[in-house]
Amino acid sequence: MKILENQLSTPGDFLELLQKSGYSLPSNNLGQTNKLDSSELIHGTTILAFHFADGVIVAGDRRATAGNSIMYEHCDKVIPIDDYSVMAIAGAPATAFEMARVLSHNFEYYRRSQLQPLSSEGKIRALSRLLKENVGMAMQGVGAVSPIFALYDQEKGKPSIHFYDLLGAEFQITTHTVTGSGSPMVKGVLEYEDMWGAKRLSERNREEAAELAMRLLHTAAHFDTATGKARPEDNIYPIISFISPEGYQFMDEKEIAVIFEKSMKRHINV
């Protein structure tokens, strides 16, 4: 990089800065890659998000698998991107973590260099762009990522949830969404809870939302080997975060342990 000669054609674009310094996204190297055995790659997940009374909850299990092997039980699948957004990842962690890192630097670089935060629409499109550039890897079956992106829009004063397909198409979710290998097991339960539960999802408070998320992840783990159950004896619990006007907030381990114990009891709550 030439010091003091930093005119970017798109001001505040961290991707452009990266490319100028020699970085290229994986799909740009497709011609040089051999097809990999996808069963050897780490993947598998259940992540979910829904609107509740105080904002948005985003939660995920902690397991990473490669084929039939459990590779890791401490995987943080909900990643803070900037003060007002989180990304939950399902799919190939290598690509997903890289995307989160690019996004995080992208948003912060824009905010610091342009002296104003990137708009919510800009943030949402930035993830679409990364997914689009990853299509080649996804088509090879080795780098597919299916993320959930949740953020608080400071202009509009409200949180939002966005689901993406592998090609980068973005869909705003007004109630709830689940993705990952364990999602088919709980998608219907979430819809049922919203339609016929004691309260709609959007009417539940923080504790009720966390309890439901915990139960859903437990249920998904019961049927899907790639989704990890909580292991209180090893202090491993799902990761739960909230998006509110104050930005993102992660539930700390002590609170999660209490919520877990409560949510696993057989009682009618909501």
Cite the active site residues. 45
3-state helix, strand, coil in the chain (%, to 5): 40, 25, 35
97 belongs to the binding site for another protein (CB under 8 A): no
Q: Tell me the closest approach of the beta carbon of residue 124 to another protein, in angstroms.
A: 20
Give the x/- contact pattern for another protein in 3-42, rule: CB under 8 A.
xx-x-------x--xx--x-x-------------------
Q: Tell me the closest approach of the beta carbon of residue 22 to another protein, in angstroms.
A: 10
User: What is the bridge-based pairing of β-strands 85-88 and 148-153?
Assistant: antiparallel
Of 185, 26, 33, give the one whose Cα is nearest residue 97: 26
Amino acid in position 186: V
Q: Tell me the closest approach of the beta carbon of residue 99 to another protein, in angstroms.
A: 12
Query: Rounded to an integer, what distance in angstroms lies between the CA atom of residue 29 and that of residue 63?
Result: 29
116 belongs to the binding site for another protein (CB under 8 A): no
Amino acid in position 210: A
105 belongs to the binding site for another protein (CB under 8 A): yes
94 belongs to the binding site for another protein (CB under 8 A): no
Q: Tell me the closest approach of the beta carbon of residue 105 to another protein, in angstroms.
A: 5
Q: Looking at the chain, which runs of residues are DSSP E strands?
A: 42-43, 47-52, 55-60, 64-66, 69-72, 78-82, 85-88, 148-153, 158-164, 170-173, 176-179, 239-244, 247-250
- φ, ψ (nearest 5 deg) of residue 139: -65, -30
Locate all alpha helices (DSSP H) within 10-134, ordered by sequence: 14-20, 93-114, 120-133
CB closer to another protein, 101 vs 222: 101
CB closer to another protein, 113 vs 154: 113
Q: Tell me the closest approach of the beta carbon of residue 113 to another protein, in angstroms.
A: 5
Q: Which stretch binds another protein (CB under 8 A): 103-111, 125-133, 207-215, 223-231?
A: 103-111
Contacting positions for another protein (CB under 8 A): 1, 3-4, 6, 14, 17-18, 21, 23, 80, 83, 101-102, 104-105, 108-109, 112-113, 115, 247, 249
